[in-house]
Amino acid sequence: SVVVSVTGMTCNSCVSTIESEVGKQNGIIGIQVSLSNEEANVTYDPVVLTEEKIVEFIEDLGFDAKIANGNTGLKREILGERGQTNRKAPSHNTANLWYTVVLNIEGMTCDACVNSIQTTLCKLEGVNNIQVSLQNKQGVAQFNPLSINPTQIVDAIDEMGFESSISVGGLRKRTKTAKISIEGMTCNSCVQTIEHQIGSYTGVESINVSLDNKEATVDYNPELITLDSIKDAIEDMGFDAAIKYGVVESPSCNARSKVNKRKKVAPKQTKLEDLTDVAVPMEKDVERCFINVTGMTCASCVNNIERNIGREEGIVSILVGLMSGRAEVKYRPSIIDTTTIVQLIEDLGFGASIQDGSGKGGQTELNITGMTCSSCVHGIESRLQEVDGVTYISVALATSSAIVKYDPEVLGVRDIISLIEDCGFGASPRSHDSRVGALDHRVAIQQWRRSFLTALIFGVPVMVIMIYYMASGAHNNPYLIVPGLSLQNLLMFLLCTPVQVYGGKYFYVQAWAAVKHRMANMDVLIVMTTVICYAYSVILLIVSMIQQAQGSPKTFFETPPMLFVFIALGRWLEHIAKGKTSEALAKLMQLQATEAILVVFASDNTTVEKEESISVDLVQRGDYLRVPPGTKIPTDGKVVEGTSMADESVITGESMPVTKKAGSSVIGGSINLNGSLLMQATHVGSDSALSQIVRLVEEAQTSKAPIQQVADKIAGKFVPGVIILSLLTWVVWVIVGYTNPALIMTSHRFLSSHEMTFRFAFQTAITVLAIACPCALGLATPTAVMVGTGVGAQIGILIKGGEPLETSHKVKTVVFDKTGTITHGEPRVVHERLCTTEEGGSVMSLRHLMAIVGTAENASEHPLGAAVVKRAKEVLRVETLATATNFKGIPGCGVQCSVSGVQALLLNSNNAVTTNQSFPHKHNIITCIFPLQIEPKYELTTVEKTTLSQTSTYEVLIGNREWMQRNGISIPDSIDDAMSEQEECGYTAVLTAINGRLEGMIAIADTVKAEAALAVHTLQHMGIDPPEITHINPYQAGIRNVYAEVLPSHKVGKVRQLQEKGHKVAMVGDGVNDSPALAQADVGVAIGTGTDVAVEAADVVLIKSDLMDVVAAIDLSRHVIRRIRLNFVFACVYNLIGIPLAAGAFYTLGVVLEPWMGSAAMALSSVSVVTSSLFLK
C-alpha cells in the first residue's frame, strides 16, 4: 500500500472520478480517497505497477499528486466511509512471515546435487530453509513472500541445470478457518459487500457469507491479520459480529498425507470428518412459493396446516394467512416440490392451488390446444427444454395446460407461445381472474348464500313449530301419533333429517379431515353439536315408542336446522365482510391494463410498420407501446414521444395529475388523461411497480403480528378445551340433578326427575359446544391488519406485515437521515443576487444572467453546475440552452468559457411570448390562451433590449473568490458579506463575471423539503422526538436534536444507543448506506424513491417520498392497534361470558340458553369482529 497526497479536489465528484478511473488500472487492488485529508490510500501489485505510475495516473486526471512522506511500505488501513480511517489492522513482524512450497526436482543423480541445491538456495534473500530429497525427487522450501516468490525459486534451480516445478497443491500457508456470526444482514447486497470488503484485506484467503445462517466462514493467515481485526472490520461496516466457532488450523507442509485427503467442496471449505469444529453452512437451494388455500374458517385451521405441513421433510417454514387465504412456504426443491405440498394441504381437508408467479425468475401458465396423447406432451416438453432460457416446463394433457419457468432476460411469454405454435399447437396465457376472485371471496359468498337459503327452507318451519308449541303450552299435552311419538316430534324429525344428512355435508367432510389428522377445529364443534342432538333425539324417541309411553319426550330436533341457519348466515356475512377487508388489494390488482397497443418498427427503426393490440401479459421488456388518451398505461416504462398528463393517484396517492413528456417515467396502471404517448416498456410482469406493490401488500396480509401468533396458539387449544368443558358441564349437572333434584326440576307431566336431569345436562353441554367460537379470536388481528395495510396501500404507504404495524404504535423516537430524506438529495439554487452599478455590475436582468450562466454550466459535469442549469431552464422555461465554447474547468476554483446564441435563446424562451396552456378538468381538458405575466426581475432592461443584438459572444467566469481574483475581478465588500451570510447558512456561494465585470452571486444548497417542518412539528405534537443523523445544520426543518458528522457505518450505533435508552426507534432513510440502520431500528421506513436495497431492508415503504406519510404511517398503526384491542375485547368477553352462560352458571338467576340460541350468538361474534375491523376505513 502507498499513501498519495492529492491536491485540487473540490467535492465528492472529484473523489469518485479518482476512485473509478484509477481503480480500473491494471495492478490496482483497491483505492480509497479522502477529500478532507487530501490523500489517497492505494493498494497495488508491485509486480505490475510502481508508485510513480500511480502518481502519473492521478495527475492525468487533472490533479496534483505526490507520494506522502513516510507512507510507503507494507501498510493496510481498514477504511469505513470515504476517506475516513476507522481502524488500522495490526502491525506484523514480517521476519516471521514464512510460507512453505513443495517443489518437484528432476535431474539429481547424487547427494552432491542435493547439497548444491540446498547451499545455493539458502543464500537467496527471503529463503529461510530448504530440504531436498533425492529419493522423492522433491524439495520443501520455506520462504518470505515479501522478498521472494516460488517462481523465482524454481528459476534459481533451473539455472543450476536441473528441471524444477511447483508441486500440484504444493504451496502451503499457515492458514486458519473460523466462523463469525453476523447480525443485521437483510439481502444479498449485504453479503456481497461483506465478502468484497473483507476479502480484499491482506491475510484473508477467502470469506464465504451465508445470509440464511447469518454467519461467515473465513480462511485467514494469523500472521498477517487477527480474527478480532476481521470481526471489528465487519462491525465497522454497520453489522453486529461475534466469533462463533473455534479456529481450525490448516495442515502444515510436513503433514502431506493429511493434506492430500482434503477435498475442496466449496472455496476454502474442508471435509467435516477432517475439521470437526467447522459446521457446514445451510444449503442455498431454498425456494419460496405461495399457495392459495380455501376452506379455512378459523385459527384452528391455520394451526392445523402450519403444524402438519411444517413437520414434512424439505419444508423450511410455512406461514398461513387466514384472511388472505394464502400460505407462504419456504422449501427445498431437491427434497419436496410444490405439487406435493399442495397435495399435503388437500389431504388435511382444504383446497389448495399454486399461486401464479410464485417461484423464482419468470413463470407463466398457459392453455394449450390441439394435444391428443402423451406423445404431444413429450414433443412440447422436449422442444422447449432445448431452448436457452427455459429452466422448467411441465405439460398436463388432462388439463391442457403448461407451467413454464424461464429467464426473463433471455426470452418472454410471447417467445414461448411462438415456440409452442411452431410445434403445431395453440397456446395462450391463463387468466388471472381467479386470483382476483379469491380476494373478493366471490365463490365463498355464493356458496354460503345458497347454504343459508337452503337451511332457511327447513329452519323457518322448525322455528314456527317451536314458537307455537312454546307459546301455547301444547308440548305439555301433546297429540300422539303412536304411543311415545307426538305430532311435534314427528314434524321436527321430518324437517331435521334432510338438513342433518344433506345440509351438513360440507361440515362432515371438513370435520373428518381434521379428526383424521388428530386436529379439532370449528367444524368439529358444529358436527359434534348437531350429531349429538340428532342422535340423542332419535334414540330418545325410539326408546319412548318401545316403552309405549303415554307422552312424548322433549327432544333437540330444532337444534341442527337452527344451528345450520345461523352458521350459514354468519359465514355468508363474514365472507362479505372479508371481501371488503381485501377490497383495497383487489382494486390494486384490477388496476392492471388488460391490453396494450404494440408498435412494430421497420428495419430502419424510424418507420412504423404496424400497430397491433395484444394482451398485456405478452408485453416484453423493450417493446414500444402506443398509449391513447383516456386509457390505462399498460406497464412501467419511459416516454419516447408525446406530451400528456397522467393520473397516478390510484398508485401513489398523489391527487394532482403529473406531466409526462419524452424521457419521463410512467407507471403501469395509471391513466393517460390527454395526449397520445409512445412509450418503451422497462419493467413488465412481476417486475412492474404495481406488481411489486401488490406483492408487498399480499405478503403483509399473510404475515402475522406477534399478538396474532399468541391468539393462534390459544385457538389451537381452544376446541379441545371446549369439548372437555362440555363433558364437565354434563357431568356436573348430572351430579347436581341426582343430589339436588329440586334445583333443576321443572313441571312436566310425562317426564321423570331422572329424565329431566339428563335432558338438562345434555342441553347445557350441547349449548357450550354451540356457543364456543374460536373464530372471533382468530379474526381479531388479521381482519384489522388487512384493512389497515389496504388503506395504507391506497394512500401510498406500504406496511410489510403485522409486526411493523404493531411495533409502529410504540415508536417514541423517529430518526431521519438528512440527504434525500429531510432534503431533496440534490443541489438547488436557493438565492440569486444581481450586482448594482456601484458594485461593478452592468444592471443585467436575472433572465439575461441565467441564460448566460446556465449555458456556461451546461458544459460542466459538476453537481453544482447541474443545479444552475436546472434553475436557468426554470427561469427561461426552455428545454435547451445556448452554446458554450472554449470550456475550461479548474478543480477547486471554477469554470471559464465563451457563450454565444444568447439572443436567440432569450427571444425564443417560453416566458417571452403568448402561450397556450392546458389544464386538466374533471371531465375534459380546458385550453386557455393568455399572455404570461413576467416578474420584474425577469424582464430585460431597456439597455439590454437595445444592446442585445450587438453582443454575439460573452466571456464568462464562474467560481469562488480565488478564481475571480486570479482573473483580475475585484469583489466589493457588500458581495463578500452576502457570500459569507449564505455560507453561514450552509450554502455554497458562487460568483459570476461576464466580459470582465462582476454580475452576480448565486447560492446553491441541498434544500429542505417543504413538508419537513410540518412533519417534525406533528411528530412532536404526537409525543415523538425526531432527531436527525446529518452532516449539516438542519434546524430549518424544526429538529432540535441533531447528530452531526455521523458516518454511514456509525448510523447503526446511533440507533442502537437510542434503543439502549429504552426508546422504540423508527429510522427513515433512502440510501444503500442506510440499510443496516433501517434493519437495526425497531421500524425501518424507506423513501420509495430510494434504492432497492433500502426498500428491501425497511418495514414501511413510502411510495410518494412525502415526510407527512411518516406521520400517517404511525397514526395508521395506532388506529389499527386500537381496533385490534377492541376486537380482542369483543372476542374474549364474548367467550368469557357466553360459555359460562351456556353452561348454566346463571341458571339460579333464571337465565338459561337453548342450543339454537348459542349458535346464533356464535355466528354473531365473528360478524361483529369483522364488522368492527371495517370501521377502520
What's the DSSP call for residue 370? S
> Helices 775-794 and 559-581: crossing angle, nearest 10°?
20
* Three-state secondary structure call for residue 1149: helix
> Could you tell me whether strands 644-647 and 671-674 are parallel, antiparallel, or unpaired per DSSP bridges?
antiparallel
Separation of alpha carbons 359 and 417, rounded Å? 20
Separation of alpha carbons 1065 and 1051, rounded Å? 12
Closest CA to 323 of 587, 692, 704: 704
Separation of alpha carbons 928 and 921, rounded Å? 12
Q: Which of 617, 817, 1025, 1099 is catalytic?
A: 817
Taken as a whole, the chain contains a residue count of 1177
Separation of alpha carbons 233 and 216, rounded Å? 13
Closest CA to 617 of 439, 362, 438: 362
What nine digits make up the cell of 901?
A: 446564441
What values do phi and psi take at 84, rounded to 5?
-110, 115
Cα radius of gyration rounded to whole Å, the chain = 40
* Three-state secondary structure call for residue 832: strand
3-state helix vs strand vs coil in the chain, percent to 5 = 45, 25, 30
* Three-state secondary structure call for residue 321: strand
Separation of alpha carbons 893 and 440, rounded Å? 64
What nine digits make up the cell of 267?
A: 472455496
What's the DSSP call for residue 686? G
Which helix (H) or strand (E) segment holds residue 328: the answer is: strand 326-331
Alpha carbons within 13 A on the beta-carbon side of 1087: 23
Give catalytic status of residue 212 as yes or no: no
Separation of alpha carbons 539 and 526, rounded Å? 20
Laid out side by side, the sheet with 2-7 consists of: 28-34, 39-44, 2-7, 64-67
Q: CB within 8 A of 230, min separation 6: which ones?
A: 180, 198, 201, 204, 218, 220
Checking 942-950 for CB contacts under 8 A at 24+ apart, the result is 943/842, 943/843, 944/844, 944/845, 944/848, 948/848, 948/902, 948/903, 948/906, 949/903
Cβ count near 932 (within 10 Å): 12
Checking 205-213 for CB contacts under 8 A at 24+ apart, the result is 205/173, 205/175, 205/268, 206/267, 206/268, 208/266, 208/267, 208/268, 208/269, 208/281, 209/182, 209/185, 210/281, 210/282, 210/284, 211/185, 211/187, 212/281, 212/282, 212/284, 212/286, 213/281, 213/282
Which helix (H) or strand (E) segment holds residue 792: the answer is: helix 775-794
Are the C-beta atoms of 773 and 735 separated by less than 8 Å? no
Separation of alpha carbons 834 and 991, rounded Å? 10
What nine digits make up the cell of 1009?
A: 423539503
Cβ count near 1057 (within 10 Å): 12
Are the C-beta atoms of 305 and 350 separated by less than 8 Å? yes
Cα dihedral across residues 714, 715, 720, 722: positive or negative: positive
| CB-count burial class (<10 Å; 0-12, 13-18, 19+) for 773 | buried
Separation of alpha carbons 279 and 246, rounded Å? 10
Q: Which sequence positions are flagged as catalytic?
A: 817
